[in-house]
Amino acid sequence: MIKIPYLTALTTHFSYGLLFAFGQFRDFFRKIFDWWRTNNLQGYAPICLDFEDFYTRRLYLRIQDCFGRPISSAPDAWFDVVERYSNDNNKTLKRTEKRTRCLNLGSYNYLGFAASDEYCTPRAIDSLKRFSASTCSSRVDGGTTTVHTELEECVANYVGKPAAIAFGMGYVTNSAILPVLIGKGGLIISDSLNHNSIVNGARGSGATIRVFQHNTPSHLEKVLREQIAEGQPRTHRPWKKIIVVVEGIYSMEGEICRLPEIVSVCKKYKAYVYLDEAHSIGAVGKTGRGVCELLGVDTADVDIMMGTFTKSFGSCGGYIAGSKELIQYLKYTCPAHLYATSISPAAAQQIISAIKVILGEDGSSRGAQKLARIRENSNFFRSELQKMGFEVLGDNDSPIMPIMLYNPAKIPAFSRECLKQNVAVVTVTFPATPLLLARARICISASHTREDLIKALEVISQVGDLVGIKYFPAEPKKQQQEKEMIKLE
Amino acid sequence: MYVRAVPPADLNKNTEWFTYPGVWTTYISILFFSWLIVLSIFGCSPGSAWTIVHLVHFFVTYHFFHWKKGTPFADDQGIYNGLTWWEQIDNGKQLTRNRKFLTVVPVVLYLIASHTTDYQHPMLFFNTLAVFVLVVAKFPNMHKVRIFGINADR
């Protein structure tokens, strides 16, 4: 639940109104100037309507230097950010040769596999030498190597399902699977804050889409009852299939899905559950098996479990895990399997080695250490930020913590001030989040040490005071010390 | 002091900002402060200032609510490209609280403007015309209606 101070809501609305008004003025004068200037594009249709890219031109481009910063090293806990400058007020940015070493609070590097790892990297290089960088064909033609079959078995065992299928890209996994699973005459009920890949896949499938309020099982039940009673849109025939799509951890809120209640609602009304564990696989749960393990849900109750390898495993690609019949069906219908190039063998080997490290099968306890460290780091960081008075979203144990900024001017201020002090944060604004609720999203990794986190806290606290985002009263220091003493005892 | 912001189940990002707390208050305060600004810039009587605010409000809200179609970003792939902002809010459902509020505001502004100018003639005519156009444009029966094909899709 997000609590905004009322005055902040008013000033945010007003700021956006002001930005919108300025943008409209500039567009108006730009139209007049362009009418005077001759152009040699007679007879060509415009690429986009003038109103369609208003947001990009007039709001996003003004603070473009806060997004898309190029990096020139592996995204470990510390990395090199390339400095850029602009001569025309951020419309175009030019790279320089200078690099700054910054603390990385933005990469989804939950278990620290993003940089070179002592177990995974030699094996990935080995597999690169054996199989070369790409299989250069789709899975059905010549792209299935022993690494691919081993990967699918490994993932199925890890997740706790009978079989799995892996694809080369995480976004494609969602957008190519949903059209295959459900078609016209079916119903997809998805959480209102689902990722764009799910929205795209759902739109591409041709099924009817309904949305339920974020993470509210009672509203899901209400929507299910309404839709089952009404049936298909005009004919009122019963639905052919109902799939409820939820995510394990929502990447913009850091909230963990209320899976037990949602699964019980779906069982009651005989709907299928599709769980997208992009951010939660490998990051939560005692052995890193995701939200099912964390919340105690039996994996047999979730019909389709999807996940990506980009976040916790330091590789690329996505997977779907389900029953043997489902995976066999997907293997001969899913276009991502039939036509898309298969996942690179080196990337697949990286995933297999990462899973082995997590499960402890490489002979060391690094996996368990990483899991314990990410949990400690996340809980420590979140509680410290909340004590300082920031509004931090997300549940305990979740490694994603968005710090609310709200006002549009605070977004570039926070981002640039943090970069000046060598801390790189990711700020998220309008199309990815609702208009008012702009935030800075911090992703904690197992490779962050306690000193890194303390430095980050100092910098964020300083910048927070400067920018004015400590919306809640901070707890006074004496109480903090007392609490810490009680914890140690 | 604090209000809860519940994320609405509205998928249209162009209109869902209107369902958050504080919008109505911001709207009314913008109108009030623009009246003060007009008074200080032009140094005219309060009645003419209200008339100016009313007429500028008419032009601005007509242009943005009932003339401009589509959304200011390309993410939604143009599914709302034939609908004005007024037709998009609340997913096209008529007579919701937001719509009723937005219909009442021009009427209240009209009453204030005509009262403070003592119902005198040139201002009264323009004010009445403005409020008539705005209120008719907001009727539920005018949903997706394009009179004489003005502003219809290409």
pLDDT in tens, A109-160: 898 888 888 899 999 999 999 998 998 999 998 889 999 999 999 999 999 9
**Which residue in the set A3, A56, A211 is minimally distant from B2, CB to CB?**
A3
Cα of B88 to nearest chain A Cα, Å:
15
CA dihedral of A399, A400, A404, A410, whole degrees rounded to 10: 110
Does the structure show a pLDDT above 90 at A181? yes
- Portion 80-109 of B in contact with A at CB < 8 A: 81
DSSP label at residue B152? -
List CB contacts (< 8 A) between B9 and chain A: 192, 211-213, 219
Q: How far apart are CA A420 and CA A365, in angstroms?
A: 38
Using CA atoms, how far residue A2 sits from A384, A394, A480, in Å, is 18, 10, 24
CB pair distance less than 8 Å for B11 and A211: yes
Answer whether residue A484 shows pLDDT above 60.
no
Other CB atoms within a 10 A radius of the CB of residue A305 amount to: 26
Q: Which of B8, B26, B69 sits opposite A14 (nearest CB)?
A: B26
CB contact under 8 A, A6 and B21: yes
Task: Please judge whether B8 and A192 are an interchain contact, meaning their C-beta atoms are less than 8 angstroms apart.
Answer: yes
CA-based nearest distance A251→chain B, Å: 15
Q: H helices within A136-290, ranges in order? A: 146-159, 170-181, 196-205, 217-230, 259-269
Placement of tokens 């920031």 in the chain: A390
Q: What's the pLDDT tens digit per position in A237-247?
A: 999 999 999 99
The neighbour count for residue B76, using CB atoms within 10 Å, is 18
User: What band does A82 get if pLDDT is binned at 50, 70 and 90?
Assistant: very high
Task: State how far the Cα of A120 lies from the Cα of A364, in Å rounded to an integer.
Answer: 13
Residues of B in contact with A213 (CB under 8 A): 6-9
CA separation for the pair A433, B85 (Å, rounded): 20
CB contact under 8 A, A17 and B8: no
DSSP one-letter code for A209? E
Contact B2 A4 (CB under 8 A): yes
CA A45, CA A56: separation in Å to the nearest integer? Answer: 20
- Cβ count within 10 A of residue A143: 20
> Shortest CB distance from B73 goes to which of A6, A13, A431?
A431
Q: How confident is the model at residue B17 (pLDDT cuts 50, 70, 90)?
A: confident
Record: contact A10-B22, CB cut-off 8 A:
yes
d(CA A427, CA A139): 38
Q: A102 and A78 in contact (C-beta within 8 Å)?
A: yes
User: What is the spatial distance between Cα A72 and Cα A74, in angstroms, rounded to a whole number?
Assistant: 7
- By Cβ distance, the residue of A2, A48, A52 closest to B4 is A2
CB A59 within 8 A of CB A23: yes
Q: Which residues of A touch B68 (CB under 8 A)?
A: 51
Note the maximum CA span of chain B: 50
Tokens 């208009």 belong to residue = A435
Give residue for tokens 């005892």: A489
Q: Which two tokens stand for residue B99?
A: 């719509």
Q: What's the predicted TM-score (pTM) here?
A: 0.86
Task: Say if strands A163-167 and A78-85 run parallel, antiparallel, or are unpaired.
Answer: unpaired
Sorted by sequence, the CB contacts under 8 Å of residue A60 that are 6+ apart come out as A67, A430
Three-state secondary structure call for residue A238: coil
pLDDT at A489: 45
Query: In what helix (H) or strand (E) does residue A190 lie, and over which residues does it extend?
Result: strand A187-191
Q: B17, A17: Cβ pair inside 8 Å?
A: no
Q: Looking at the complex, report in whole angstroms how far the Cα of residue B16 sits from the nearest Cα belonging to chain A.
A: 8
How far apart CA A201 and CA A171 sit, in angstroms, is 9
Answer yes or no: do B3 and A3 touch at CB < 8 A: yes
Which H or E element spans position A401? strand A400-404
Pull the structure tokens for residue A31. Answer: 């139209």
Smallest Cβ distance to B70: which of A4, A13, A52? A52
Decide if A6 and B2 are in contact by the 8 Å CB cutoff.
Answer: yes
First-residue to last-residue Cα distance in chain A: 33
A55 and B6 within 8 Å at the Cβ level: the answer is no
Q: How far is CA A404 from CA A2, A392, A428, A474, B136, in A?
A: 9, 6, 10, 15, 40
A431/B4 Cβ within 8 A: no
Quick check: B33 contacting A, CB < 8 Å? no
A417-461 pLDDT per residue, tens: 999 999 999 999 887 888 888 899 999 999 999 999 999 999 999
pLDDT tens column, A226-240? 999 998 988 999 999
B26 touches chain A (CB under 8 A): yes
B10 pLDDT exceeds 90?
Answer: no
Give the one of B1, B16, B20 whose C-beta lies nearest to A5's C-beta: B1
CB contact under 8 A, B5 and A213: no
Residue B9's pLDDT is 66
Quote the crossing angle between the two packed helices A410-420 and A450-467, to the nearest 10°.
140
Is it the case that residue A488 has pLDDT exceeding 70?
no
Q: Minimum mean pLDDT among A173-177, A373-377, B18-22, B27-31: which range?
A: B18-22
What are the Cα distances from residue B88, in Å, to A100, A346, B135, B139, B153? 46, 48, 17, 14, 16
Closest Cα in chain A, distance from residue B15 (Å): 10
> Which residues in chain A are contacts of B3 at CB distance < 8 A?
3-6, 9
Beta bridge partners of A165: A320
**Residue for token pair 């300082």:** A388
Separation of alpha carbons A378 and B126, rounded Å: 62
Alpha carbon of B87: minimum distance to chain A alpha carbons (Å): 17
Which residue in A324, A321, A282 sits closest to A167, CA to CA? A321
Q: Do A436 and B17 touch (CB under 8 A)?
A: yes
> Residue B4: its chain A contacts at CB < 8 A?
1-4
Distance CA A422, CA A463 (A): 12
The residue of chain B nearest to residue A219, with distances taken between CA atoms, is: B9
Q: Which residue has the higher pLDDT, B136 or A489?
A: B136
Reduced 3-state DSSP string for B32-98? HHHHHHHHHHHCCCHHHHHHHHHHHHHHHHHHHHHHCECCCCCCCCCCCCCCEHHHHHHHHCCCCHH
B74·A56 Cβ contact <8 A: yes
